[in-house]
Structure 1
Amino acid sequence: MSATAYETLLVEERDDRVIVTLHRPEARNAISGRMIAELHEVCALLERDPKLLLLTGHGRVFAGGADIAELLRRGRDEALQGINSRLFERVRRLPMPTLAAVDGWALGGGAELSYACDLRIAGPDAVFGNPEPGLGILAAAGACWRLPELVGESVAKQVLLAGRTLDAPAALAAGLVIEVVPADELLDAAHALLDRMARSSATALRLTKLVVDSPGAHPVADDLAQAVLFEGQDKKDRMTRFLEKRSRA
């Protein structure tokens, strides 16, 4: 897939991952209807050919929010379509792990897109926030229920109701991000994290994510997923290598 195939994204495909850069530099990478449509195309690609996803923003900004001019034109019918929320839920349900590398602003819909990823890593200038009530709306693309799951109800209400923003140290303390690294090392650190995951069994990662994201299904879901993995050749090969290595130690 060529980066020139998109208007609002830069997309790079590798053997084990896809790197997507939000790219609307004239609008702080604000999430527009066009970007939503193009991210749906990326999701379709990753559903057909499951790979790790790295999501980041161009120009030291993740995404400064949704496109306010577009939101102003939207009414009840558009709200009921869940234009942003349907995409973010699709990102959440991608088969393989997803990672948002965030530096600079991740506000409104930009924050909600990062919340939809499995993991987040931050640069020192990262700022997460949901200022939607100040615009007369609510954070309706997942923040009202995802953020409490990620950081707890108290911190989530500080962000969603009191307008608190979480800078990089606060996001790390709240468990929202896995690590804070210097800005010029952010993408390298993100790829190192993906490299670590890529060394694991792809099937095991997919089934682990499926079980973790399926509340209420335990322990049956655990047993079924483990049964699939126990019959796989990958498990046999990995455990045999482990035992052989230990016997030589």
Structure 2
Amino acid sequence: MPQLRLDRTGDVFVLTFQNADASNMLDDSTLDEFNAHLDTVEAASGNVALLITADDEKFFSNGINLDYIQSQGGMPFLLNTFVPRLDQLLQRLARFGCPTLAAINGHAFGGGALIASACDFRTMRADRGFLCFPEVDLGLALSPTMVACVNNLPGEAVRRRLALTGARIGGEEAARLGLVEAAHAPDALQPASLAMAAELAKKNRRAYATIKRSLLGPRWDALLAD
């Protein structure tokens, strides 16, 4: 069964995690599917936007599937194979050539939080779900690309709190801190996020991409050179 689904509503592509049985965790198949769907969006003509969400009420994405990593050889596979592949996806998403918005409808932990952070904008469910980087509690370091994703979030103090303590931040607090544009009630999150993405899709795509990549600046350019 595919782990992701791509639909189109007007000028908005909606990429949906749909592997609730595995908490929408990330493995090689997830990355393959994600990149294939990005290819589709990239090939579309005209001004468009990309909205990333999930169809599970509990998890947006629970990050890297560590059971899968263990089955492939454990830490050597994680560090030498999977993390570089995830880094490439995060770099692509951060520099993607159209507006991107993550509608965080449940827990976004680890790799899920990184995907949300790589997007241009974020919305979040107000009553349930946390944004969290648990790597410090798992004994794992963040790669330079992952650090760059964290640094996409506003506010140095809150970034340090997230990365160095593994704090779990809910939707209403995330909105107060500026980590997300807005926190919505469960039944309002999807329509409000879709409306926001539709407004972003009106922007000139080429100009938007050029400005976005300029704002990312030298720290992202250096990552691409590695």
| Relative contact order, higher structure (CA 8 A, sep 6+) | 2
Give the corresponding residue for 1:222: none
Query: By how many angstroms is 1:31 displaced?
Result: 1.3
Q: How far, CA to CA, are the matches of 1:104 and 1:188 in structure 2?
A: 16
Q: Does 2:22 match 1:24?
A: no
Alignment of 1:129-144 (within 5 A): 129-140=132-143, 142-144=145-147
Query: By how many angstroms is 1:193 displaced?
Result: 0.7
Give the corresponding residue for 1:127: 130
Query: Which one has the largest radius of gyration?
Result: 1
Query: By how many angstroms is 1:9 displaced?
Result: 1.0
Give the corresponding residue for 1:10: 5
1:1-25 per-position Cα deviation (integer Å, ceiling 9, x unaligned): xxxxx61012213441211110111
How does the TM-score come out when normalised to structure 1? 0.76
1:40-98 per-position Cα deviation (integer Å, ceiling 9, x unaligned): 10111122225311110121120111101123334446524411111111112221101
Larger mean Cα displacement after TM superposition, 153-162 or 11-20: 11-20
Give the corresponding residue for 1:214: 214
8 Å CA contact 1:100, 1:117 repeated in 2: yes
AA aligned to 1:17 is: V
Select the residue among 176, 180, 192 that pairs with 2:179. Answer: 176
8 Å CA contact 2:16, 2:54 repeated in 1: yes
SS in 2 for 1:106: strand
Unmatched segments (≥5 aa) in structure 2: 218-226
Unmatched segments (≥5 aa) in structure 1: 1-5, 218-249
Larger mean Cα displacement after TM superposition, 102-111 or 86-95: 86-95
Q: How far, CA to CA, are the matches of 1:141 and 1:41 in structure 2?
A: 24
Query: By how many angstroms is 1:105 displaced?
Result: 0.3
Give the corresponding residue for 2:64: 66
1:141-194 per-position Cα deviation (integer Å, ceiling 9, x unaligned): 744222233123221121111121111122112211101110111110011112
8 Å CA contact 1:127, 1:166 repeated in 2: yes
Larger mean Cα displacement after TM superposition, 123-132 or 136-145: 136-145
Q: Does 2:118 match 1:116?
A: yes
- Identity across matched positions, percent: 24
AA aligned to 1:128 is: L
8 Å CA contact 1:130, 1:139 repeated in 2: no
- The structure that is strand-richer by fraction is 2
8 Å CA contact 2:7, 2:14 repeated in 1: yes
Q: How far, CA to CA, are the matches of 1:146 and 1:216 in structure 2?
A: 10
SS in 2 for 1:186: helix
How does the TM-score come out when normalised to structure 2? 0.84
8 Å CA contact 1:112, 1:143 repeated in 2: yes
AA aligned to 1:138 is: A
8 Å CA contact 2:6, 2:13 repeated in 1: yes
1:192/1:91 Cα in 2 relative to 1: closer, same or farther (>3 Å)?
same
Q: How far, CA to CA, are the matches of 1:49 and 1:141 in structure 2?
A: 31
8 Å CA contact 1:112, 1:141 repeated in 2: no
SS in 1 for 2:184: coil
Alignment of 1:80-91 (within 5 A): 80-81=80-81, 82-91=84-93
Give the corresponding residue for 1:3: none
1:149/1:15 Cα in 2 relative to 1: closer, same or farther (>3 Å)?
closer
1:153/1:143 Cα in 2 relative to 1: closer, same or farther (>3 Å)?
farther
1:62/1:216 Cα in 2 relative to 1: closer, same or farther (>3 Å)?
closer
1:208/1:118 Cα in 2 relative to 1: closer, same or farther (>3 Å)?
same
